[in-house]
Amino acid sequence: MQKENKWKKYYKEKYPEIWKKRVIHYGFTEYHKCILALLDAREGEQILECGIGTGAPLAISLANKGIQMTGVDISQDLLELCRKNFHKERLSVKCYEI
């Protein structure tokens, strides 16, 4: 039981800092382009992203194509940053902590 609590704490507190730096450093990669192509999402469709994090770059790219985004994440800090990132882009997203 204690091991689970350590991992949960790590993903809620430490991982967000790592992820924020990673997104700034790497940005939109070939991996993200491949995911977008595989999804073949169309305007008006809905997508649930598990582990939405900051929303960048994938969820924001999808929302810019007219996709209705919903995201869940374990980190409240990342969800707040996600909401801010979407707001900056004048996009809407539904975010939920799990």
Q: pLDDT of 18-50, one tens digit each?
A: 766 666 555 567 888 888 889 889 999 999 999
Looking at the structure of the chain, the number of domains it has is 1
Residue 7 token pair? 């991992």
Residue 98 has pLDDT above 80, yes or no: yes
Give the distance, in angstroms, between the CA of residue 65 and the centroid of all CA atoms in the same chain.
Answer: 16
Full-prediction pTM beyond 0.85?
A: no
Query: Domain range for residue 33?
Result: 2-97
Q: Is residue 41 within 8 Å of 67, Cβ to Cβ?
A: yes
Burial 41-73 (b: 16+ CB within 10 A, else e): beeeeebebeebbbbbbbbbbbbeeebbbebeb
CATH assignment at residue 20? 3.40.50.150
